[in-house]
Amino acid sequence: MAPMGIRLSPLGMAVFCLLGLGVLYHLYSGFLAGRFAFFMLSEPAAGGPETPHGSVPGGAVDLRELLAVSVLAAVRGGEEVKRVREGNVLNAKAKGKTREGADEQLTTGDLLSNRRMFYLLKGAFPAVQINSEERVDTADQETVSWDRSIPEEIKQKIQPKEVPAESVTVWIDPLDATQEYTEDLRQYVTTMVCVAVNGKPVIGVIHKPFSSYTAWAMVDGGSNVKARSSYNEKTPRIIVSRSHAGKVEQVARQTFGNKTVIIPAGGAGYKVLALLDVPEKNQEEADVYIHVTYIKKWDICAGNAMLRALGGHMTTLTGEEISYTGSDGNEGGLIASINMNHKALIEKLPDLEKTSHK
């Protein structure tokens, strides 16, 4: 008999039990679902690297961390470039033709540097789009890990700054000035990494493998390089590609006078460093960098970011900003300067734009 003289019917007992089971099922299933979700989010996939914080699809990327790993990637790639050159195992071959009809060289240094740089960046930030000059062979994948350490110099100068992962595009040039590399003109060779956010270059890293010098800068952040303080705007020293010196010289001398100095050089990274205060004995100095033909964005993105961070400019020959989204080429040539009247320079060189599409 039930307490207080109340008698429970079998049907009532059954209903009561079913209600209790329903409540327990609801509570316990919610607990299990929560634990399962936590497990899926916190555990890396079997056989794969742990996903770094802030780099999941739709998540955020810390630009200070991305700068740190970009510097490391440029240095690691440079180690491969130097090792191949010093071992004289270039295995150089033509991978195609430039628009001017010259052979475009490819070496073992390009390929090994590309592999090291790409997989280091991709392992650290798998959700970020990475564009590289060389094709990435998935069959030759390399596991290159980053210990997530940030150099003290970067910690002191750069504050953490998060941006949406989907807004970021990384451009890497694993070996700039390959032609000069094959000719053993080592001073022109660089490895470069650039980070663009919504198409605007914000982080630039240029590394010189054969002198172990690395320049980096971040827009609205800081840098380890400065602009030179002395420029001659009336008769500037103009640095140009070795193959384009003749195209630029005549127009430049007509515009600025016969005292204008034309500096033929290799590599876009080297040419941008020529505009800056670089403690390198094999680095020439220039006031303006001009390129009059089509050029790939991984050649110029890092230098563009560096100049922007230091108050300089890099535009097409008609003064348009270069967007680092979409296609990998820039059709409008370029003119770069710092601490000069960039608009006035463009207005003085109107005829050069006509040659940029040839």
In terms of C-beta density within 10 A (0-12 exposed, 13-18 middle, 19 or more buried), how is residue 296 classed?
A: middle
Chain position carrying tokens 């451009």: 171
Q: Which two tokens stand for residue 45?
A: 């996939």
Task: Collect all residues with Cβ–Cβ distance below 8 Å to 340 and sequence separation of at least 6.
Answer: 231, 233, 236, 287, 288
Q: Which two tokens stand for residue 143?
A: 């596991």
- Please report the sign of the dihedral spanned by the C-alpha atoms of residue 89, residue 184, residue 82, residue 87: positive
DSSP element (H, E) containing 1: none
Task: Flag whether 103 is marked binding.
Answer: no
DSSP annotation string for 59-116: SEEEHHHHHHHHHHHHHHHHHHHHHHHHHT----EEEEE-TTS-EEEE-HHHHHHHHH
Task: Flag whether 173 is marked binding.
Answer: yes
Closest residue by Cα to residue 85 from 194, 191, 239: 191
Would you name the residues annotated as active-site residues? 110, 178
Task: Flag whether 175 is marked binding.
Answer: yes
Provide the 8-state DSSP code for 46.
T
What is the rounded CA–CA span in Å between residue 264 and residue 289? 10
Q: Which two tokens stand for residue 141?
A: 């994948």
Binding residues, by number, are 133, 173, 175-176, 299
Provide the annotated binding site for Mg(2+).
133, 173, 175-176, 299
